[in-house]
Amino acid sequence: MKLEYHNIIYKPAFNEKSTNLQGQNKYTFYIHQDANKKMVAEAVSNLFNVKVINVNIVNLPRKAKQRDRFHPGFTNFRKKAIVTIAKGQQIKELIVE
């Protein structure tokens, strides 16, 4: 399955841990379920014009939630990528201060 660059990356993950990682040139994104490390590296380098050094992928499992009185439900399966970029570069659109 061929995915376009803008379809591979859904959105950046903004939380306390990912904000702290930005100081180490690491940025966190939620990605498509079928995306692999090479696809994520190409998408980030082409969309943000940075040199990608490393990509780590984490599969986030579904969690059980109480949806209705007796009918349990689940949150969606998600996949997250932590992308390390070259020293001295940054993705200005994602910087949280």
- pLDDT on residue 64: 86
Check residue 1 and give its pLDDT.
Answer: 62
Domains and CATH numbers, the chain: 7-88 (3.30.70.330)
pLDDT of residue 97: 57
Per-residue model confidence as pLDDT tens for the chain (97 residues)? 678 888 899 999 888 888 888 889 999 999 999 999 999 999 999 999 999 999 999 999 998 888 777 788 888 889 999 999 999 898 877 665 5
pTM of the model: 0.84
Gap between the Cα atoms of 33 and 30, Å rounded: 9
